[in-house]
């Protein structure tokens, strides 16, 4: 069972959510040295003290991780940082998404 579970709902669609997840994966690698590999819509990552997955769904991003003994003491802080990172990336992705088309006004019949 995962020590850490962070979920975020989104309305981006799978392609935009995957782009956001790739950005998150890149940032986690840069900041924390997490190495990962994509298997479809699941990123499997690891580093000493952490193993887990980042799953991209059509309506949700879900990060599940098992923490080593040293990191379990920081679980709440890690969860908050991961959640903040997800929120920022999803908000950025949503701002880049094209606006939905406005419905055309109904034509008056004569």
pLDDT beyond 70 at 94 = yes
Are the beta carbons of 36 and 45 closer than 8 angstroms? yes
pLDDT in tens, 25-73: 888 788 878 888 999 999 999 988 899 999 999 999 999 999 998 888 8
As a residue count, the chain comes to 110
Supply the pTM of this predicted model: 0.77
Query: How many other C-beta atoms lie within 10 A of the C-beta of residue 30?
Result: 9
pLDDT band at 93 (very low <50, low <70, confident <90, very high): confident
> How confident is the model at residue 55, as a pLDDT?
95
Topology at the third CATH level for domain 4-94: TATA-Binding Protein (3.30.310)
pLDDT beyond 90 at 20 = no
Are the beta carbons of 61 and 21 closer than 8 angstroms? yes
For the stretch 83-86, contacts whose Cβ atoms lie closer than 8 Å and that sit 24 or more positions apart, written own/partner, are: 83/6, 83/8, 85/24, 85/27, 85/28, 86/6, 86/8, 86/24, 86/61
């Amino acid at each position: 069972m995962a020590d850490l579970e962070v979920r975020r709902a989104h309305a981006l669609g799978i392609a935009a959510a995957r782009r956001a997840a790739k950005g998150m994966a890149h940032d986690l690698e840069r900041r924390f040295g997490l190495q990962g590999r994509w298997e479809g819509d699941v990123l499997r990552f690891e580093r000493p003290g952490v193993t887990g997955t980042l799953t991209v769904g059509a309506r949700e991003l879900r990060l599940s991780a098992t923490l080593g003994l040293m990191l379990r003491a920081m679980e709440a802080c890690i969860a908050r940082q991961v959640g903040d990172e997800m929120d920022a990336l999803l908000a950025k992705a949503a701002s880049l998404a094209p606006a939905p088309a406005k419905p055309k006004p109904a034509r008056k019949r004569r």
